[in-house]
Amino acid sequence: MAFIVKILFYLIRCLPVRLAGAIGAGLGRMAYLLDSRHRSIAMRNLSRIYPQQNEAWKRKTSRESFAELGRTSFEMPHVFLRSQQFLKSRIEFVGLEEIAKAHQDGHGVIFTACHLSNWEIGALSVSLIDFPSAQMYRAVRQKPLDRFLKQCRERFGNRLHERRENMRWLPKALKQGQSVSIMIDQHLSNGIPIPFLGHPARSTTLPAAYARRNNATLFAGLVHRIDHQFRFRIEFKRIELPEQNPNTEQDAIACTSELHQAYAETIHQYPEQWLWIHRRWLYLDEQEQV
């Protein structure tokens, strides 16, 4: 499997990145027609969040979300194999001054991310701007393939930690003044129900809890694609933590709600760029079945 993926990566890497993305988008739209299960999930999610929109809008947004996933998938070989200079030339960064100030404080920085547009280039973005970074990730079952992908993701200085790994690495990284990156927009079976896009979804409060506990600065990393091209605007939005609540759990929930709101603003602006095929509101789906 790892050998086949490597061959495919290097073959797609030989294509112009715009062509690779266009092929991926076309295949994504084909998947929309063929994959009834995930199409149904996307339509259900869109109906929950945008009940005021008509069916034609929901179908178009769902189809373009599939296209964005396909485009992102076929851009991965370029993200993983092209030079740092090439990737930086395709990104407009916003908020770097705030990051520099936060690093000067010496308490570490926590970045959160979501599956918005090309999240792989978003995950690499911190190391592209030369900030030491540690990231939590989900390992691939095939170990040779996981090693290859991990090597690609770490090539500019990231250090990846598997999500089941002991969490002692996280406060250690913050104490050393490094940054830590964590995805927050997926269903977490043992998470706390917190509104995401206006509806309760089981969510991780880990970034908020560690930011408060270690006096670290918390940022939301917001990625969006510019005009269907391999060009991106990545904004690092500093999240001002609410006044500390003596109730630790309520405090973490309040901080996480602030994070969710930052992502909601961007998702509402570019709904076709978010990953609607994920059952983010499984908590509500299960309640409705009872």
Q: Where are the domains of the chain?
A: 2-289
Residue length, the chain?
290
pLDDT for residue 247: 66
Q: Looking at the predicted structure, is the pLDDT value of residue 177 above 90?
A: no
When mean pLDDT is compared across 126-130, 147-151, 234-238, the lowest value belongs to 126-130
- The beta-carbon contacts of 283-287 under 8 Å, at least 24 apart in sequence, are 283/187, 283/193, 283/200, 283/201, 283/202, 284/48, 284/199, 284/200, 284/201, 285/44
Distance CA 275, CA 196 (A): 14
Residue 290 has pLDDT above 60, yes or no: no
> What per-residue confidence (pLDDT) applies to 133?
86
DSSP per-residue codes, 179-210: EEEEE-SS--TTSEEEEETTEEEEE--HHHHH
Mean pLDDT to the nearest integer, 156-181: 90
Whether residue 92 is predicted with pLDDT greater than 70 in this model: the reply is: yes
Task: Identify the pLDDT of residue 49.
Answer: 98
Q: Is 222 helix (H, G, I), strand (E, B) or coil?
A: strand
Res 203: pLDDT: 97
Among the listed ranges 67-71, 114-118, 281-285, which one has the minimum average pLDDT value?
281-285
The predicted pLDDT at position 270 comes to: 97
Query: What are 198's two structure tokens?
Result: 């206006």
